[in-house]
Chains A and B, each alone.
Chain A
Amino acid sequence: MRTVNQRISPYLYLIPSLILLVAFTYYPILSSVYISLHEWNLFTPEPKFVGFENYTILFGDPLFWRVARNTLVYVAVTIPITMAMALIMAILLNERLGWLRNAYRVAAFYPTMIPMAAAAMLWVWLLNPGIGLINHYLASFGVPRIEWLYNMDWALPAIMMTAIWKNFGYFMLIYLAGLQNLPGELYEAASLEGAGFLHKVRLITLPLLAPTTVFVVVVGIITSFNVFDLVHLMTQGGPGNRTNVLVYYIYQHAFRFADYGMGSALTVVFVVMILAVILVLMRLLERRTHYEV
């Protein structure tokens, strides 16, 4: 009994979103693939087809592999630490704490509200080797001075610290929301059977929080793969490319070196990488949980 109008209207309502979606998400992916097969830089102002040459150069460049490794290290280290801190804080905050609870929550969550760029500024100042706050307090614990952003081994960890500080409050909040939705009866039943606190965390809390964890992991992976602001403002990829990550590398090629062909090849590699990691993770986690969209 549906009129023509009814049949057409769904598409009509979708048109504005779909046009934008296609123009700024799907067309770009396709056009990256296309441009990546061309030489297109300052000296070749019109795109020239070169097949897979950009990819050959890319994969033959040791720097690319270093950048890929930096990115993976960054993702693999920040996410578990951020999640563990978020979860522990959430479990602690879920206890009865009176009015102070709110203060704790605000203290942990406010970094979510400030721009990454501002977080970068704060931490560059804190991490200053000579007059920075962190080295000062570390010294009072007898820790030898660390040169942080000046040092090849410490620069990436320093950026990761900043990211963890900035992000864990948000994940904590998501976990808190998850915790508040858990059925109280299960805990009571477990208590009756004499289960200890940690036991209950392991047997009830963690399994029931699994869907929340999946959400947190996916969001975490997307945000950490896209790290750019911190690198751009804290180290510019240095020293010695020890903090250069994929998005920053794309930025360098496409905008500083004005090489759109190579920038597009990198974009393609990057998109494939994100999708692959997310797919694999979803598969792994789905096996254990019933994740409902």
Chain B
Amino acid sequence: MLKDRRLRYLGRSLLVVVAAVGLLVSQASAQGERLVRLTFYYPVGVAGPLARVVDGMVQEFNAEHPFIEVVPVYSGDYDPTMMKVQTAVRGGNPPDIAVVEISEFPTLLAMGAIIPLDDYIAQHPGYIDAFFPAFLDNSQFEGQVWGIPFQRSTPVLYWNKAAFAEVGLDPESPPTTWTELADYAQRLTTRTGTDVTRWGVTISGGWNDWLFEGFVRQSGGQLIDFHGQEVKFNSPEAVEALEFWVELMQGLKVGPPHSTWASTPPDFVAGRTAMLYHSTGIMTFLKSSADFPFGAAFMPANVTYGAAVGGGNFFIFKDIPQENQDAAWTFIHWITSPEKASYWSAASGYVAVRADAYELAEMQELVTEHPEYLVARDQLAFGHGKMMAPVYQRVREILKSALDDAQAGLVSPRVALDRAQEEMERTLRSWIQTR
């Protein structure tokens, strides 16, 4: 019923397009060109500001390309988008293009849902080299590139400058090492009796698996070696990272053992926590809410700085006509140009995916005014691909559960990670065995 109406609507807009470019079309169709319509799943829940920006760019693209019409479909957050992709691919009705959470790449591969992009990339010398290398980690498999970075972020450390000044710390110097972090957090935690009125540091829950990966990187370790098909949840580096967390939360009691992803940014604004680990994506929210000065910094280092990048990549799907794949590439190439990447970054708050975008005037202006935006980019020097494996949603639940248990002090970090390792090996046994 609805599909019909949508088709009719599309039909009508098609007529308009045809009429508008009438001459062009008739000339071109003599050369054999015709309109290619592309379905584009985009992960945003509501037709909010982000969707408007995407809409604007898509319209601009469509206007510039009379023979391609990209139709964006707002498919919800990352999880619902992946669910929609899975359903569509299984139903034999894949989209043409989708932006999917980067850790889902192996799942898409295993489903045989996507195509490698090397032939397309080869048409544009220098194109792929412009991307930050850390952002390409989640695109490559067996020497081929399968995904193009689009909306990308990394976690950073936010600190409340007023609170720093209040306890006699230099408001302009965030902690740079784990030791400093623990030290500052102790000084920043305030209590009345046993009741904590302000936490020193909050490591946000909900996506604590993502933040944890950063801490493991800071210790020089890695959680999943995708290319070696190896799971290292209980490596010494991982245990060390988790032990540090437990020390902060249970030993020193300077951070809440658990929290939720959505509620910690307001906690920071309300002064409930002096430091906060969260995504670069909340910068705009903090700016418009906090009535105290705050800063964003690299996540403090252990043996090194380190972070796991996050966000979504473009993928082109298999089992669609060749001309659709070609058109899809035209779109992806267009929207990841330096100009568009910088526009997108400025409008959305995501990190621009390629270095040359930062050389453009628009970006220069933005970062001069708000140098915080550069923190995420500069941290990329220490950034790594996000861990990934098939059935990633399951993997994430296993790790989160282990972290939560250890953070609560119910089991030792080693035991929690040993158990998670075991469960991972069971869940992924077929994948690990193919090594």
Contact = CB atoms under 8 A, between A and B. Distances in A.
Direct contact of A and B (CB under 8 A): yes
Contact of B110 (A43, A151, A256, A257): A43
A240 B408 contact: yes
A131 B266 contact: yes
A235 interface: yes
Interface string B370-404: 00000000000000000000110110010011001
B82 to A, nearest CB: 8
A194 interface: no
A124 interface: yes
Interface string B9-24: 0000000000000000
Contacts of A144: 193-195
A151 B194 contact: no
B394 A257 contact: yes
Contacts of A242: 404
A252 B397 contact: yes
Contacts of B194: 144
Contacts of A63: 401
B205 interface: yes
Contacts of B430: 43
A236 to B, nearest CB: 7
B258 A258 contact: no
Nearest to A240: B404
A139 B257 CA distance: 21
A133 B90 CA distance: 47
Interface string A171-206: 000000000000000000000000000000000000
Contacts of A98: none
B408 A239 contact: yes
A235 B393 contact: no
Nearest to B262: A124
Contacts of B86: 42, 258
B196 interface: yes
A129 B86 CA distance: 37
B260 A147 contact: no
A238 interface: yes
Interface size class of A (residues with CB under 8 A): 20 to 34
Given A147-B258, A235-B260, A236-B206, A257 B272 contact: no
A154 to B, nearest CB: 10
Nearest to A258: B86
Interface string B244-271: 0000000000001111100100110011
B272 A239 contact: no
A130 B270 contact: yes
A194 B263 CA distance: 58
Contact of B205 (A42, A239, A256): A239
A129 B268 CA distance: 12
B205 A150 contact: yes
Contact of A241 (B267, B391, B401): B401
A27 interface: no
B228 to A, nearest CB: 20
A117 to B, nearest CB: 14
A63 to B, nearest CB: 7
Given A131-B270, A144-B194, A256-B79, A239 B110 contact: no
B107 A42 contact: yes
Contacts of A258: 83, 86
A48 interface: no
A101 interface: no
Contacts of B410: 152, 240
A131 B206 contact: no
Given A43-B430, A128-B263, A238 B195 contact: no
Contacts of B205: 150, 238-239
Interface string B123-136: 00000000000000
A68 to B, nearest CB: 16
Contacts of A257: 391, 393-394
A130 B400 contact: no
Interface centre among A42, A139, A241, A255 (most CB of B within 10 A): A42
10 contacts: A42-B110, A42-B391, A45-B111, A130-B270, A130-B271, A152-B410, A238-B404, A239-B258, A240-B401, A242-B404
Interface of B: 79, 83, 86, 90, 107, 110-111, 193-196, 205-206, 256-260, 263, 266-267, 270-272, 390-391, 393-394, 397, 400-401, 404-405, 407-408, 410, 430
Sort A-B residue pairs by CB-CB distance and give the 7 closest, nearest first: A240-B404, A130-B272, A239-B258, A239-B404, A150-B258, A256-B393, A131-B270
Given A43-B110, A238-B205, A239-B257, 13 more contacts: A42-B107, A42-B390, A43-B390, A43-B430, A130-B266, A131-B270, A145-B195, A151-B258, A152-B257, A238-B400, A239-B407, A256-B79, A258-B83
